[in-house]
Amino acid sequence: MRRSRGIVWIGALCCVLCGTSVWAEDSVQDLATQSMEECQKGRRAKDADSRGVYFDRGRKLAEKALALDDQSADAHFALFCSIGERMRANGEVFFSVFEYGAMMDALDQTLALNPDHLDALSSKGTILIEVPEFLGGDDEKGEIMLRQVIKDEPASINARMVVARQCAERGEHQEAYELSKRALELAKEQERDDLLPEAEETFSEMQTQLMAR
C-alpha cells in the first residue's frame, strides 16, 4: 500500500551560512541514501537474522538524518522503509500499534514534505488497499494513487502488481493480465530478486484467471 543579499559583510556571512547549510543537506541526503541502501540489502538478504540487521541499521541511519534535518522527505521515507520492512520480516509477529503508528507517521511526513514522492505514493497506495478499513484502508483512493504512480513512473513494479489484483477482483481480467505481465518483465529487466517471486506468482494467477473466463 506518505524539499537577498545586502552589503559586503552581510553577503560574506550569508555565504558562510549557505555553505554550512549545503554541507548539512548533503550529509542528510547521504544518510538517507545509505539508509535506503540498507533497506534494499535487507530485502535481498536470504535469512531473517541478516534482514533484521540491515533494517535496524537502516533505521538508525534514517533517525540520524532526521536529527539533522526533520524536513527531509527522503529521510522520512527511509525511516518508513526500515520500520515497515522490519515488521514484514518479523511476519508481524511483533506487530505493535506504536511501531505501526511510527511507520505511518514517517510515510505521511514524506508526502507532506514532497507530495510527488513516487516511492511514498506507491507505498501509501498499497497500504490503503491492503490494510482493513479500521486502520485507514481505502481501496478506491489507493488505486487512484497507484495508477498515478504507474503513469509517472513507467518502470514501477509493485504498483502494477497491486492494481492488477484489484482489477482481477472486479473481473477485469485482461487489464489484470497486462499489468502483471509488464510487472514481471520489469522485475526481470531490473534484476529485482526481491520482487521477482511475487511478480511471477501474480502473473501466473492473472494468466490462469484470464484463461478460465
pLDDT tens per residue, range 169-184: 999 999 999 999 999 9
Q: 51-75 pLDDT, tens per residue?
A: 889 999 999 999 999 999 999 999 9
| Per-residue model confidence (pLDDT) at position 97 | 75
3-state SS assignment for residue 193: coil
Q: Report residue 13's pLDDT band, with 50, 70 and 90 as the boundaries.
A: very low
The answer to whether 41 touches 54, Cβ cutoff 8 Å, is: yes
25, with CB counted inside 10 A (0-12, 13-18, 19+), is: middle
Q: Which residue has the higher pLDDT, 21 or 189?
A: 189
Give residue limits of the domains in the chain. 1-124, 137-213
Side-chain half-sphere CA neighbours of 141 within 13 A: 11
What's the CA gap between 64 and 10, in Å, rounded?
A: 32
The domain over range 137-213 is classified in CATH as 2.40.128:
no
Q: Is pTM, for the whole model, over 0.85?
A: no
Give me the helix-helix angle, 73-89 and 97-113, nearest 10°.
Answer: 150
